[in-house]
Amino acid sequence: MKNQTSHSSLLLAVLKKDLRLYSRNMIYIFLTVISLVFFVVIYWIVPDTVDEDINFAITPPISVLVNDGLKSLSAQGVPESVLEQAKEIEAGFEEEGLGLVEFENEEELKKVIRGELEVYRTDQGQFIIHDPAGDQKKPAKAEKVNLDIGMSFPPTFLRDAALGEKPKVTVYADAAVPDEIRNAMEGFVSELAYQVAGYELPVELPDEEAIILGEDRLGDQISLRGKMRPLLAFFIMMMETFALASLISNEVLQRTVTALLVTPLKVWHFLLAKTIFGTALAMSQSVIVLLFVGSFTTDNWHLLLTIILLGSLLFTAVAMFVGAAGKDFIGQLMFSLLFLIPLLIPSFAVLFPGSVASWVSVLPSYPIVRLLYDVTIYDALWADSLGWLLYALLWAVVIYSVGLFVLKRKVATL
């Protein structure tokens, strides 16, 4: 019992010393407070909504295009079967994920695409065109509709398509519109033309399940705010690597460790104290951030704490390795970036979801990011996370063993 008390006292003494040194470093205290406030504020500022529709403009209005086309086809004695095919063109514009805004003329459409005119949608679903350069005020209680792409159909589109001719459809797009969106709109027009002409597309498409790679999130998109929730805790844990690495590096360079080892303090006391201090520092700040963004629930709090503990231990191990290897502040900073930049890569898989490359999933930080993502966004529980928890634990043990070995060897050679 006496030895146990002695060990506890020694550990507590080192921890108090580390806390005192950390609190005296105004740079890290300032960065810590600013980081906590900044991340929480940014989280509540970023939008929490997702617009899954592709909004596009069209001229002339569908009703005008269809009615004029049917009249022209009827006047030429086109069979009723062809007329029925032409009538279905309206259904083609009602595809899920397409938001249609109709314009009376092509010039007005081009001005909207160029940004010279704005379009607002009222609560009743009506569209109002507003000229920012004019004297008219913006419509009250109306939502602005961003239109970056539009299509101008010729008045004879239905007749030409039904008779097998090639009507010219102009697609207008803003320079910022990706090529894949433009190509999708062009393919959409081609499909309409085939439909009106009574032909099926000359290709056979596979099932939707075979086309979409990764998990299909159509209708269940995650907002930018939702994606940021797991990343905040991850970034906080990662940033504390700099603070702990700097603390260890200073003690090594100033040979504070040598002075401590003259006392009854053993090397393992020093190493264990650094592990406890670094893990507690990263974990406490991550918990604070997740509390402010509302990530903890009655169902996930124990799982989320376990994930944060593993992540904090992982970055503490990195800090131990970096602190032992760095010879000065610049060297320690370069070593930190050398290790942290690769560990940062998996976080982009959250911001830009899809099929993750196999080499990304091998990185030590990937299971931590994946667990935070699944738990905070999709309410994953222990049964869903067990495999990733074991994977994260394995990496934490490996990196910690390496960091412990390097720091222990560095202390022994002083």
Contact at 8 Å (CB) between 131 and 90?
Answer: no
Q: What Å distances lie between residue 401 and 274, 321, 328, 406, CA to CA?
A: 14, 10, 24, 9
The alpha carbon dihedral of 139, 145, 147, 150 has a sign of negative
Q: What Å distances lie between residue 118 and 59, 61, 92, 112, CA to CA?
A: 16, 18, 26, 6
Please write the tens of the pLDDT for every residue from 316-353: 988 888 877 766 667 777 777 888 888 888 887 766 65
Of 317, 133, 353, give the one whose Cα is nearest residue 240: 317
pLDDT value, residue 85: 59
pLDDT value, residue 306: 94
pLDDT value, residue 73: 66
* Rg of the chain, C-alpha, whole Å: 31
Q: Is omega for the bond preceding 60 within 30 degrees of 0, making it cis?
A: yes
Contact at 8 Å (CB) between 396 and 237?
Answer: no
pLDDT value, residue 388: 93
H helix intervals, 25-105 = 26-45, 62-75, 80-87, 89-92
How many Å apart are CA 306 and CA 360, to the nearest integer? 23
Which amino acid type is present at position 160? D
pLDDT value, residue 310: 93
H helix intervals, 212-300 = 224-253, 256-261, 267-292
pLDDT value, residue 2: 47
pLDDT value, residue 308: 94
Taking each helix axis from N to C end, the angle separating 366-378 and 224-253, rounded to the nearest 10 degrees, works out to 140
Strand order in the sheet with 170-173: 98-102, 54-59, 149-152, 170-173
* Residue 51 three-state SS: coil
Q: Is the pTM of this model over 0.85?
A: no
How many Å apart are CA 365 and CA 387, to the nearest integer? 15
pLDDT value, residue 190: 72
How many Å apart are CA 402 and CA 319, to the nearest integer? 11
Low-confidence ranges of the chain (pLDDT < 50): 1-4, 208-213
Please write the tens of the pLDDT for every residue from 118-163: 888 887 777 888 888 777 777 777 778 777 788 888 877 777 777 7
Taking each helix axis from N to C end, the angle separating 382-412 and 301-325, rounded to the nearest 10 degrees, works out to 20
Contact at 8 Å (CB) between 410 and 324?
Answer: yes
Strand order in the sheet with 143-145: 127-130, 118-121, 143-145
Q: What Å distances lie between residue 20 and 2, 209, 244, 267, 284, CA to CA?
A: 27, 58, 13, 20, 17
Q: What Å distances lie between residue 74 and 77, 84, 87, 356, 411, CA to CA?
A: 5, 11, 12, 54, 93
Which amino acid type is present at position 312? S
pLDDT value, residue 208: 47
Helix or strand holding residue 109 (H, E): helix 106-114
How many Å apart are CA 101 and CA 127, to the nearest integer? 7
